[in-house]
Amino acid sequence: MVIIIFIIVLWYSGLFFQTFFLHRYAAHQTFKMSKFGEKLCYVLTWITQGSNYLSAYGYGVMHRLHHAYADTEKDPHSPKYDANLFAMMWRTKKIYQQINEQKAKIEDKFTKNVPQWKAFDRFASSWGSRIGWAVLYTLFFYFFATAWWQWLLLPVAYMMAPIHGVIINWFGHIYGYVNFKVSDTSKNLLRFDWLMMGEAYHNNHHKHGGRANFGGVRWHEIDVTYCIMILLDKMKLIKLNPVAVVKREI
């Protein structure tokens, strides 16, 4: 039971900072926060994502490219241009690294105001950091795993962020329903997003990319991350941008 709880905590804590900090803040800037809050989010992203830490700069720029070129050959991740999900994620990894290491030529509009903490990213993305976290995860399993099948969850701990990515960027462009006509294949993967904390409302998000609330178009579309953001806004820890009320088209 301890191992199951551990995986659940890793899943939702890492996912929260992916969608809250990397996606809604770094890529889309749907809210504002202090420089201290920004630095704190970097550290908490490293703690919660551990061996699969993602840079706010690398993620933010790559995600802006995804929106600009969704389902075209310039899209960093599209099921239309890769034979399988593993090929798509490998290509995504290479593009992310090129952006994060500033080896790719990127137009200014995709990098404007994307937060960057180079020194921390070098540390958190280093092999020393990644291997260190992997060792800690393995030791945790060594001491707390009570059945052989629980060890099958160890690779999930190692690769949590890529798993989050493939759920949305592969399955979220193949399965689900749509509320809006868009120029790409994005779909709302789940009717109530208990798994991805609002990220699964992918069609809604592609239609209204700058909207902090990914759900709220139908009664059952509850965006858990946005609910937390409302609380943080009321506590004056962040300042949400105004969120427009939208209605589905289909």
Q: Give the model confidence (pLDDT) of 24-82 as tens digits.
A: 999 999 999 999 999 999 999 999 999 999 999 999 999 999 999 999 999 999 998 88
Q: Is residue 250 part of a domain?
A: no
Q: Is residue 215 part of a domain?
A: yes
* Residue 53: predicted pLDDT: 98
Q: Is residue 249 part of a domain?
A: no
Q: Is residue 67 part of a domain?
A: yes
> Between 248 and 22, where is the model more confident?
22
Of all residues in the chain, what percent carry a pLDDT higher than 70? 100
Q: Is residue 43 part of a domain?
A: yes
| Helix (H) or strand (E) segment spanning residue 240 | strand 239-240
Contact call for residues 184 and 70 (beta carbons, < 8 A): yes
User: Hey, is 31 helix, strand or coil?
Assistant: strand
pLDDT band at 247 (very low <50, low <70, confident <90, very high): confident
Q: Is residue 198 part of a domain?
A: yes
The set of residues, in sequence order, having a beta carbon less than 8 Å from that of 197 and lying 6+ positions away, is: 12, 15, 16, 19, 223, 224, 225
The number of CA neighbours under 13 Å toward the Cβ of 117 is: 20
Q: Is residue 54 part of a domain?
A: yes
> What backbone torsions phi and psi does residue 237 show, to the nearest 5 degrees?
-85, -25
Tell me the C-alpha to C-alpha distance, in Å, between residue 189 and each of 105, 176, 194. 33, 4, 11
- Mean pLDDT within 169-191: 97
Range of the domain at 45: 1-240
How many structural domains is the chain composed of? 1
Per 3-state DSSP, the chain is made up of helix, strand and coil in percentages (nearest 5) of 60, 5, 40
- Mean pLDDT within 222-246: 95
- Regarding pTM above 0.85, the answer is yes
Q: Is residue 6 part of a domain?
A: yes
Residue 246 has pLDDT above 90, yes or no: no
Start-end of H helices in 77-152:
85-100, 108-111, 118-124, 127-144
| Helix (H) or strand (E) segment spanning residue 239 | strand 239-240
